[in-house]
Amino acid sequence: MTLVLVLLYFSCPARRRTAPLLAYCLAVAPLPPANAIGANPKPPENRQNFPVDALGPVWQNGSATIESEIQFSFTRAASSKSGRAKNQTPISLLNHRVRTMKRTLPALLLFLLLAAPAAVHAQFTYTVNPGGTSVTITGYTGDGGAVIIPSSMNGLAVTSIGMIAFDGLTSLTSIAIPNSVTSIGEAAFGQTGLTNVTIPGSVTSLGAAAFQYCYNLKSVTIGGGVTSLADSVFYNCTSLNSVTISNGVSSIGDFAFQGCTKLTSITIPASVTSIDEFGEGGLAGAFSSCASLTSVYFQGNAPSVDSTVFADDNSNPTIYYLPGTTGWSSPFAGRQALLWNPLIQTIGSSFGVRSNQFGFYITGTPYIPIVVEACTNLASPLWIPLQSFTLTSGLVYFSDPQWTNYPSRFYRINSQ
């Protein structure tokens, strides 16, 4: 998640003689399409209860536009499955046919095409769900590595991945979950070798401890269908450093991210209303023992929390929240809470070109972190960090000495 303030600027290099038209508006909305650049900016609709505040034109004398946007864009022992013997049946059958039937190459290729789906499906064990139209995967007998779960088996939709289906399979390095799957059971992928996970939006139920003890897991994206992150879902994933939670999750359970020692920041979507609501006390917090956690960004109103949510986080994380949200006070769950409200100052001689550098002042709550980024094309943006700041006194000046190297350049303020 990212807190973002975007400033769109069409530069006026020294080789040009006309000055640009600059206009400024503060809004919460996607950036305008490329074909709208140059038109009078129209304040977009309010989204996710963020305030829309049109500031109007600031400087006009040319053909370019400045626009701005603020938003959050911001235990189980190893299973013997990890040592399963390889299934050689398809290869043995192929060799037998080649030796005894002397098939021609076209016939052999046809056989391989026909045999491949059966070989893939043979790697999974499953049960038919009540109603007889779908199945639940209950186990895996393959070699691991990159595994693709089929969307159907024998004409039946794969809708569930059962409890401990892949548990302890340390050779499993990646998993592709089809959009047919709606449920992932308890400890389904616990103690595997997964390095990244994307949970599709079709999944509505994510079981407790589903990915616990995945020591190699670095990146997780949770689709918008999941409504609750169950207890211990990513417990002790010690390499996890990137988490994307889509809007839709309403609660985060005990121990959910406990022991994720590489996690430095996380964004909590506006849909979350409770964290550790039924906390067990002690170190049961959802983000307890996250030794590197320094920043927690909230998109919405303050959720109900248990006092242990950030227990034993020696990094002393800071909480950041947006203007217009409610229920916040500092400390929050025992941690400092700050309003994240950077504002580009567009009035005065400090805004614009000085000493052949384009620059501006940024103001906001003291000690909030910001990063100024730039790109040259909003249609396919590649944002490059230019400079990081902490508003130690609530004010900082940014200038870009490279602005004349581009026919147009776009800036945004990010939270991290």
The string of pLDDT tens digits covering residues 359-411 is 999 999 999 999 999 999 999 999 999 999 999 889 999 999 988 898 888 88
Neighbour-count burial of 133, counting CB atoms closer than 10 A to its CB (0-12 exposed, 13-18 middle, 19+ buried): exposed
Lowest mean pLDDT among 79-93, 129-143, 257-271, 286-300: 79-93
Give kind and range of the element (H or E) at residue 296: strand 295-298
- Cβ-defined contacts of 27-30 (< 8 Å, 24+): 27/52, 27/53, 27/54, 27/67, 27/68, 27/69, 27/70, 28/52, 28/69, 28/70, 28/71, 29/69, 29/71
C-beta of residue 389 within 8 angstroms of C-beta of residue 372: yes
Amino acid symbol at 29: A
pTM of the model: 0.70
**Banded model confidence at residue 294, pLDDT cuts 50, 70, 90:** very high
The pLDDT tens digits for 314-369 are 888 999 999 999 999 999 999 999 999 998 888 888 888 887 888 999 999 999 99
Question: Cα–Cα distance between 45 and 349 in angstroms, integer?
Answer: 32
β-bridge partners, 400: 358
In Å, what is the CA distance from 11 to each residue of 23, 191, 257, 279, 411? Answer: 13, 52, 45, 53, 11
Q: Which domains are delineated in the chain? A: 3-74+343-356+369-414 (no CATH), 80-339 (3.80.10.10)
